[in-house]
Structure 1
């Protein structure tokens, strides 16, 4: 069976779905791997490294896809895929896209829908990428902040430690807290999920937030934050408004699966911040947690606050992000690999498969991707 690894075509996408390390393991599983020329270049993986690992270098996407039974991608491919192929990627699919995959006879698995269960941890693409995003967000924030992170005592005077506020304590937020602490910042954080308070404190940060009966049920069974009422967010905003005015760097990481990111930092809050303060909005891909975020851009407000609204935060660490993402896909395929048939076998009743499978055998099978009646 042939595995096709495509060069990403989405603007600004620097990652690749397989690395020389994972290609070597696929070859060891008995697979023929075809890598589109230049697929790994933005991540620091050159064609010759893939060739040395046992891959065939294809001149273009069509050549890589010829006869492929498995297609690995980061984002949804634009190329026409072979009928009957298994597609693995973070497809960001909706009902229309799922219907298109079904019509094309492609068995599509959207890996960002993976359930957050113990068995799936090593193939959890959202967690692996969010971890890097949280780290990179603080590094970018430190670079944009013009006063330095740690307290520095010099003969000319003392530079105070930066006050860092992390909004959202999921995987990205917890990594942001840990990174800001390592850099010497005074760190506080908030999250609506009840379990997050102790996690925040365990990393040495101060918890800030509003708590009530609604917040006690603010987490799904899969570990994601739920969308809460407008009344709750208004009360939460009151609590953080006074706090945010004193912060030097604010890192926004709050996402709700499948929905636009909630607005946590209002224009009024931005106006209350000191000149030279920095807001880093990891949620920019989903619209942003800050009301003034411009996705894909860095803006400076009239009162001198820098807002970093870069998109594809994991892609700002392409080598590491690609390495982790590629291992996630390899683990998924290895878990559902039939050694005798030398082909993937995805049991329909498996919780992981049910979570990610959009289409199978020409039909849409994921409950969230069914056309509206």
Structure 2
């Protein structure tokens, strides 16, 4: 069994496996091939991989000689023609990348996209969304603090008192909760909004206030993902957010719905009521953003408000992000490789089935297929 690790595109600093995780697989007598320079931006050199027992090769050699190929971002349609591997593992956002997924299916590639894993207790050790969102939530607050023109904590000095920053977090998922915890550590006063009443206790346990809006759609059957809300609820939601955002200095937005454009939670009218110098960090920027002015990978200045659009903040901490991502990959590989280092796909396993997108020239994931059939 040979596993290949590819270098990511220039905008991505992470790598699928650091040398320390590669060493664990090598101990299991798995051959590891690393594309030349794949780990450099995560501060893992070719020498580190070689010390762990991996072999450094060119990109073409890794693609042509690996049984399983690891690449966080999708390979291009031109590259998949040369794959020896029938197994491709990464984070491919298949609900938003239909044409590429169709190409993978046509090429006969078995594709596993770990962002599609069921959100269950058993899947936690493989949950790349959670491990990376945790980092993004932490870094979102530091990014906001860096752009904010005032202190976060309250200060009482001889020159006068400084009030603490008021932070509003929209969405209490993994990223949102980490943002809450980080903002509290920095001394801010934090309020949180989420459509799921069940997260109220978690929010309060971190010392934040939970902003409640009644009438949310039940998300208990959505596998841990957000769901679309009714128009009536959205109106009440907008009103409540408008009241809270007018008092906020920092807003962290995290709201996304798989396969859909991110919901607009902050209107231009709401932003006009915000204090000059306020900062919005939009983690949903890659799917349109939670404000109408958000631009992915850009900072927009509007009427004294700073809007930072970034859905890949985890890449600003490539060492820990790669370490955690690599452990997620390692744990998933244990499901599909047996003790004899042979590929063994158990379709009765909900995690294997749930993460599989294409197999035997077909789109097999029900959620992806449903979108594909509508187009």
Report the TM-score range of the alignment, normalised by the length of the smaller protein: over 0.9
Distance 1:138 1:369 in 2: 33
Distance 1:47 1:240 in 2: 49
Distance 1:27 1:84 in 2: 19
Distance 2:313 2:151 in 1: 22
Pair 1:124-2:138 in alignment: no
Q: Which residue of 2 aligns with 1:36?
A: 35
Question: Which deviates more from structure 2 when the two are superposed, residues 194-203 or residues 172-181?
Answer: 194-203
Deviation at 1:255, TM superposition (A): 1.2
Q: How does 1:14-93 map to 2 (within 5 A)?
A: 14-58=13-57, 60-78=58-76, 79-80=79-80, 81-93=82-94
Task: Give the secondary-structure state (helix, strand or coil) at the position aligned to 2:275.
Answer: coil
Encode CA deviations 1:160-200: one digit per residue, 9 max, x unaligned: 11000100000100000000001100001000012122221
Contact kept? 2:168, 2:250, Cα under 8 Å: yes
Distance 1:261 1:84 in 2: 34
Q: Which residue of 2 aligns with 1:347?
A: 346
Distance 1:172 1:219 in 2: 19
**What are the ranges of 5 or more consecutive residues in structure 2 without an aligned counterpart?**
none
Q: Which residue of 2 aligns with 1:109?
A: 112
Deviation at 1:84, TM superposition (A): 4.5
Q: Which residue of 2 aligns with 1:310?
A: 310
Q: Which residue of 2 aligns with 1:331?
A: 331
2:99 equivalent among 96, 100, 109? 96
Task: Give the secondary-structure state (helix, strand or coil) at the position aligned to 1:343.
Answer: coil
Task: Give the secondary-structure state (helix, strand or coil) at the position aligned to 1:88.
Answer: strand
Q: Which residue of 2 aligns with 1:139?
A: 142
Deviation at 1:66, TM superposition (A): 2.6
The size of the alignment, in residue pairs, is 367
Contact kept? 1:358, 1:365, Cα under 8 Å: yes
Distance 1:102 1:286 in 2: 24
Deviation at 1:83, TM superposition (A): 4.2
4+ aligned runs moved over 6 Å, structure 1:
none
Distance 1:210 1:356 in 2: 33
Encode CA deviations 1:286-317: one digit per residue, 9 max, x unaligned: 1111121111111111x211111123121121
Q: Which residue of 2 aligns with 1:294?
A: 295
1:178 equivalent among 181, 195, 198? 181
Contact kept? 2:8, 2:14, Cα under 8 Å: yes
Distance 1:54 1:240 in 2: 54
Q: Which residue of 2 aligns with 1:228?
A: 229
Contact kept? 1:194, 1:217, Cα under 8 Å: no
Question: Which deviates more from structure 2 when the two are superposed, residues 80-89 or residues 101-110?
Answer: 80-89
Call closer, same or farther: CA 1:218–1:338 in 2, change over 3 Å: closer
Encode CA deviations 1:324-360: one digit per residue, 9 max, x unaligned: 11110000002332112x1231211211011111122
Task: Give the secondary-structure state (helix, strand or coil) at the position aligned to 1:359.
Answer: strand
Contact kept? 2:109, 2:360, Cα under 8 Å: yes
Distance 2:13 2:205 in 1: 34
Contact kept? 2:64, 2:85, Cα under 8 Å: no
Encode CA deviations 1:117-146: one digit per residue, 9 max, x unaligned: 111110000010111110000010011111
**What are the ranges of 5 or more consecutive residues in structure 1 without an aligned counterpart?**
none
Q: Which residue of 2 aligns with 1:154?
A: 157
Contact kept? 1:262, 1:288, Cα under 8 Å: yes
